[in-house]
Amino acid sequence: MKRIALFLLTNIAVVAVLGIVASLLGVNRFLTANGLNLGALLGFAFIMGFGGAIISLLISKPMAKWTSGVHVINEPRSADEAWIVNTVRGFAEKAGIGMPEVGIYEGEPNAFATGAFKNSALVAVSTGLLEGMTREEVEAVIGHEVAHIANGDMVTMTLIQGVMNTFVVFLSRVIGYAVDSFLRKNDENSSGPGIGYYVTTIVLDILLGFVAAMIVAWFSRQREFRADAGAAQLMGNRQPMMNALARLGGMHPGELPKSVAAMGIAGGIGKLFSTHPPIEERIAALQNAR
């Protein structure tokens, strides 16, 4: 409940900030007496689309720590914590990235990487993962998360989300204006947008939002294959990653906050909207890799 409330409040705050920015820049006044100002609308769509995605990326690390209850390992308090930190350090050096922060959180088997920049990211693993896997399998999962960082997946997914958001905002308002103009073409006394504009825009925001989510999820699934291959390359052996995936297939994957779900090791249900491919497809891709 806390996570959902926090997610909603964060989104409301982001939208409010973007609305103020759009107002200050004057791009929110795209509906004029002379019709639709496409330049202003594109500026508005760009701010609302990319602004939200970029803000979410910038606050992803502190939000992930807060919502998941991540304990960041500043000074290892046990041999296990020291091993996790050293494993992340070794992979980071091999991948050519800065040392990420390393953390542990309570939960079912899962792990994630997040952060706006390659050289200041966060890798976190759950207690369920540490308790339910061999060290070699945990190492493979950590390699998978480091590969996400090295591949720049957080930034790439933000850019894709921004493009999709921009198209949704732009197209829904263009089509909404066209529908409203058609419905009121014989009304000479009409001024400003009518109910047709608002209804069409709201409906299309929802429908096009679903389409955008499917496209973003498809890109995310491709990134998972790359991260699996990256883990195998970092370890110099694909078998540990295959073993880790096989074991995860028999586990109940822990639910991650929405802000980091796309970078987790285990995915959800629903093929079109799933950010992760099925476990068996990922194992097959590793088996067939050259």
145 catalytic? Reply is yes
Read off the amino acid at residue 110.
N
Distance CA 230, CA 13 (A): 36
Helix (H) or strand (E) holding 253: none
Distance CA 141, CA 264 (A): 10
Catalytic hit among 145, 224, 280, 281: 145
Exposure pattern of 125-154 as b/e (b: 16+ CB <10 Å)?
bbebbbebbeeebbbbbbbbbbbbbbbebb
Distance CA 21, CA 39 (A): 16
Sign of CA dihedral 41, 43, 47, 50: positive
Q: List, by residue number, the catalytic residues.
A: 145
